[in-house]
Structure 1
Amino acid sequence: MKRFAILATLAALILGIASVASAATEVKMTGDARVYGVFFANHNYTGWNASATQTEDRFQIWERFRLRSDFVANEAVKFRLGIKVEDVWGHGTLTAANPAVAISVYQAYLQFKLPDCDVQVTAGLQDLSFPTSSFFNDSVVFGGDRAAALVVSAPLIKDTLAVTAGFARMIDTNRTYDTTTTQVDDEFDVYLLALPITLNGFKATPWGVVGVAGRDADYGDAGFLEYLVSAGSYLNGWKNNQNAYWWAGGTFEVTALDPVNFYADVIYGAGAQSDRKAAKRQGWFLDLGIEYTGWDVLTPQVFGWWSTGEDSSTRNGSERMPIVVPNWGPGNSFLFDDSQELGKESNMGVNPVGAWGLGASLNNISFIEKLTHILTFTYLHGNNSAKAIRNLNYALGTNSYYQMGRDLAMDEYLVAVNFDTKYMIYENLAAVLETGWSHGEFKTSIWGHRLTQQAREGDAWKVAFGLTYKF
């Protein structure tokens, strides 16, 4: 009962603040809710967790509610507060008895325009993504996640050229005080610059990011470790107290030949280049998507990507492009964490970096009013040397740096199909069905007999059905 009382008090407080604020400001509330069940068989192609120490529970019911409140002083100034409740039925805040409070803040930022101009400043906890073409959902480097950041956007040439500059503190492990009287570098900061260009039938965004990574920041707790560092520094750490990371790229969208449209991204990234040789990491990533929009009943799409992979040695650093939190994926593919509406337990979490792939989609299929589908086939082939993966696995035994099914060697591949459906019951209420299947071929000489034999006993697949509501 005490927990229910806390929830009720918090809700009353938010409503009270809104009512008081409305005397001087306009309060706008938007949000979304989703409730859905997921049947997912053979996570990680084995039915076990990543370390192969736990077995899966195949059916879960998830619920998420988000509320965004905008406190608008005028057309130039507002503050956004976003709160979220998300859990599985029968656990935590959604358990049948003694529910625990599980409200979290996922947005909290001030946004305003400088007086007498169109320069916009956004400061606080906000959604942040590095630039990417719209075909591929979001950035393969850092996309669709939240960060405490300061971002400034300004037009340089009206409707043609703009500039976006930003700073984000991704990690500050020890906060105000380090653990001893010796100061350590426990932060990870990034600086972003982008120049969006818009012409008739053409869009491009050259961009660059510089990151300053402290040796004592907790990258594992943030979920960055395996994506950011090399295998050599995963084994032995960094020599330098701080290492620079940087990315440079361009996004391209060509609609001048409409109804045939083209989308592409080119990115090069590198990190720890001044550290010991084994700690260096650098590589390329390229993608290309083509679609035909001339039909009302469906949109055919084809796509592909390529990135550099690890060579046979971990002593000379990593040849994969460093990334932070990817949210990249074409066609709502079951392989990647990308655009699925029913987010939890939605995909295989495959790393597109260190691989190449091809695919095709029939998007926006609609023969009946209010009913749409998407059908996507994806093939992914590894670009990483088997020797590099095998040597690290041998040195560490069970480790999270390379995972079977997430990181593929040159002789390994995945195929996947997803068929997803949405029916708009009302304007803001939809019934969503998402299905996915994937088969993987893995080398026993890399991962061992136990994991590969388990993967041969059944393919990965999921069925998720639920309701989504937006207001």
Structure 2
Amino acid sequence: MKKLMTLALAAAMMLGAATGASAIDFKAKGQWIMSFDYGMHGNFGESKAKNNSGFGKHEDEFEARQRVRLQLDAVASEALSGTVFFEMGDQIWGQDSTGGALGADGRVVELKRAYIDWMVPQTDLKVRMGIQGLALPSFTTNASQIFDDDVAAVSLNYQFDENVGLTAFWARPYNDNYGYKYNSTTGDNKNYMDNMDMFAVLLPLTFDGVKVTPWVMYAAMGPGMFNDGGTKLNGNAWDRAASGMISGAFGYDNVDTYGNSFWAGVTGEVTYWDTIRIAWDVNYGSAAYENEKMNREGWLASLLLEYKLDWGTPGLYGWYSTGDDSNPRNGSERMPVVSANGNNGFSNFAFNGNPYIAREGVLGTNMTGTWGIGARLKDVSFLEDLKHTLRVNFMGGTNAPKMAKYMRTGENGYASIDKRGVRNVYHTDFYDPMYLTTEDHALEVGLTNTYKMYDNFTVMLDVAYLALWLDDSRSTWGKNPMKGYNGGDGVYDAWNVNLSFVYSF
């Protein structure tokens, strides 16, 4: 009996030792958002209906939606961990396709991120592999206007000392999606030479009161990345890749071509003085193809000045981006964009900028082909746990007015785009943001109010209005440039009120 007890005790001790050696610490994070929107004329009448008073192409004036995000970290040690990040939503209340209808049985669970973190033994080199959130640096806006999204990648990070660091990554946004060459024997489109691979190096420099990050990025694109197995642009690639990477002047044929893209930038901020912050972003990019009409090349620069006070932070900012010249056959002079899916700090409504889920991006997701100036009062607080941010933006386009005429009349290669049955002559699926010329202007006013009811519970009320003036002369857009919109005289507007309840842990 004693022998059996001794053996049992020894086995228990061995099991306990083994369990302790391989113990994993599980950490959970999450966020629940309940969001309610009411607004009109979003995207300025995407619907072709004569009386389009709703917010967009398939939306009512009032809609309720929700989103849940859950992240689980399995931490073995400081040198090894794994992360999986799920998202459920956005679910529109009452909509069957998103799982919001009666019964709530929609398949809406999405894998947002899944990666492992590890360190090379005996070094400070950190490695992350898998689907992860990656972004180029930005100090003026909250997100890069070139690339900020989830993507499959391998990223490396090394800190030489307290002043100098290094980040590098290889990412593959697209591969094996559309098929390329048709095989007459098997009847299949082979998924080869349809990939896009990006390589980037960032050099964060940190000194007393100064941060500067120079960076470069290169992308190689196969000839099958955009097409559908022949020579025409694939419909799925149109919105995601082509809208930011190639010129719209060539139509949508003859895209069977290799491409090379290059970007470079210098971003930074000065916070040497306790109350003053100066930030800047200077970005350049080019995309070159065998078909030269597809080429894009341009730059975008922005500047932010802030002065911190006890009751809030006033700020002034501005940006300028190159736009298309009057020759549609030499490609586009707008900077190429991979995916600007992050939070734009200048605007909550004209561009993507809402911190939670709400109607946004009325003009588009990025600021290429536009200029703007703005003023804001940030985080103004007179009561505990209640903050307000007021912003006013005036902006316009940097594209040549003659290009609008080409798009309207179908001259110089634009007829093929118009034949796609687009809803209006300037907001085609090919342009993000909306195509604005030097004769077009917009005014945005927004007020964001946040109340921290509990440590993990926030209520936000966001009110936004945008007015857009389009040149309706014959030399630019002509009369009634927005088909299906019930406005007129070249003046259009959109507004929205959002109330969100957010629980985060």
Instruction: Identify the range of structure 1 (187-196 vs 224-233) with the bigger mean alpha-carbon deviation.
Output: 224-233
- 1:256-275 equivalences in 2 (<5 Å): 256-272=272-288, 275=290
- 1:167-206 equivalences in 2 (<5 Å): 167-174=170-177, 180=183, 184-206=192-214
Q: 1:75 offset after TM fit, Å?
A: 1.2
- 1:456-471 equivalences in 2 (<5 Å): 456=488, 459-471=493-505
Query: Are the counterparts in 1 of residues 224 and 256 from structure 2 also a CA contact under 8 Å?
Result: no
The structure 2 residue matched to 1:142, chosen from 122, 144, 147, is 147
Hey, what's the Cα distance between the residues in 2 that align with 1:306 and 1:177? 38
Distance 1:190 1:332, change over 3 A: same
Aligned to 2:131: 125
Distance 1:77 1:116, change over 3 A: same
Listed one character per residue, the Cα deviations across residues 354-399 of structure 1 (whole Å, up to 9, x for unaligned) are: 1110000000100000000100000111100122233134213244
Q: Does residue 331 of structure 2 align to residue 297 of structure 1?
A: no
Contiguous gaps of at least 5 residues in structure 2: 1-18, 227-233, 423-427
- 1:17-416 equivalences in 2 (<5 Å): 24-46=23-45, 48=47, 54=57, 56-86=59-89, 87-91=91-95, 92-97=98-103, 99-133=105-139, 135-143=140-148, 145-156=149-160, 158-174=161-177, 180=183, 184-218=192-226, 221=236, 223-238=240-255, 240=257, 242-272=258-288, 275-293=290-308, 295-326=309-340, 327=342, 329-338=344-353, 340-350=354-364, 351-393=366-408, 394=410, 395=415, 396-397=417-418, 398-399=421-422, 400-401=428-429, 406-416=434-444
Distance 1:22 1:412, change over 3 A: farther
Query: Are the counterparts in 2 of residues 404 and 442 from structure 1 also a CA contact under 8 Å?
Result: no
Hey, what's the Cα distance between the residues in 1 that align with 2:478 and 2:357? 29
Amino acid at match of 2:455: E
Hey, what's the Cα distance between the residues in 2 that align with 1:127 and 1:427? 26
Amino acid at match of 2:150: R
Instruction: Identify the range of structure 1 (399-408 vs 78-87) with the bigger mean alpha-carbon deviation.
Output: 399-408
Aligned to 1:435: 463
Amino acid at match of 1:229: I
Q: 1:403 offset after TM fit, Å?
A: 5.5
Hey, what's the Cα distance between the residues in 2 that align with 1:403 and 1:245? 19
Amino acid at match of 1:151: S
Distance 1:442 1:402, change over 3 A: farther
Aligned to 1:13: none
The structure 2 residue matched to 1:454, chosen from 486, 490, 494, is 486
Q: 1:117 offset after TM fit, Å?
A: 1.9
Q: 1:189 offset after TM fit, Å?
A: 1.2
The structure 2 residue matched to 1:425, chosen from 453, 458, 470, is 453
Q: 1:100 offset after TM fit, Å?
A: 1.6
Instruction: Identify the range of structure 1 (308-317 vs 217-226) with the bigger mean alpha-carbon deviation.
Output: 217-226
Listed one character per residue, the Cα deviations across residues 314-351 of structure 1 (whole Å, up to 9, x for unaligned) are: 1011111111112363344321102x133242341434
Q: 1:460 offset after TM fit, Å?
A: 0.3
Equivalent residue of 2:405, what SS? helix
Query: Are the counterparts in 2 of residues 43 and 49 from structure 1 also a CA contact under 8 Å?
Result: no
Distance 1:191 1:111, change over 3 A: same
Listed one character per residue, the Cα deviations across residues 59-113 of structure 1 (whole Å, up to 9, x for unaligned) are: 1111101110000111110000011111111123222136222111101000111
Amino acid at match of 1:269: G
Hey, what's the Cα distance between the residues in 1 that align with 2:22 and 2:463? 48
Relative to its length, the structure with more helix (as a share) is 1
Instruction: Identify the range of structure 1 (350-359 vs 78-87) with the bigger mean alpha-carbon deviation.
Output: 350-359
Query: Are the counterparts in 1 of residues 126 and 156 from structure 2 also a CA contact under 8 Å?
Result: yes
Hey, what's the Cα distance between the residues in 2 that align with 1:404 and 1:138? 16
Distance 1:448 1:108, change over 3 A: farther
Distance 1:344 1:329, change over 3 A: same
Distance 1:414 1:206, change over 3 A: same
Equivalent residue of 2:404, what SS? helix
Listed one character per residue, the Cα deviations across residues 109-151 of structure 1 (whole Å, up to 9, x for unaligned) are: 0011111221110000101111111x311000012x1000000
Listed one character per residue, the Cα deviations across residues 198-239 of structure 1 (whole Å, up to 9, x for unaligned) are: 011110000011011122224752512111101234433335
Hey, what's the Cα distance between the residues in 2 that align with 1:404 and 1:188? 20
Query: Are the counterparts in 2 of residues 65 and 85 from structure 1 also a CA contact under 8 Å?
Result: yes
Contiguous gaps of at least 5 residues in structure 1: 1-19
Query: Are the counterparts in 1 of residues 81 and 117 from structure 2 also a CA contact under 8 Å?
Result: yes
* TM-score where L is the length of structure 2: 0.82
Hey, what's the Cα distance between the residues in 2 that align with 1:374 and 1:253? 21
Equivalent residue of 1:443, what SS? coil
Amino acid at match of 1:258: D
Listed one character per residue, the Cα deviations across residues 34-57 of structure 1 (whole Å, up to 9, x for unaligned) are: 00111121011236389x995641
Query: Are the counterparts in 2 of residues 248 and 267 from structure 1 also a CA contact under 8 Å?
Result: yes
The structure that has the greater radius of gyration is 2
Equivalent residue of 2:482, what SS? helix
Moved over 6 A (4+): 20-23, 175-178
Distance 1:460 1:61, change over 3 A: same
Q: 1:409 offset after TM fit, Å?
A: 0.7
Amino acid at match of 2:79: A
Distance 1:129 1:447, change over 3 A: farther
Hey, what's the Cα distance between the residues in 1 that align with 2:478 and 2:241? 23
Percent sequence identity over matched residues?
Answer: 27
Q: 1:173 offset after TM fit, Å?
A: 3.3
Distance 1:404 1:211, change over 3 A: closer
Hey, what's the Cα distance between the residues in 2 that align with 1:261 and 1:54? 40
Hey, what's the Cα distance between the residues in 1 that align with 2:25 and 2:182? 44
Hey, what's the Cα distance between the residues in 2 that align with 1:387 and 1:106? 42
Distance 1:285 1:233, change over 3 A: same
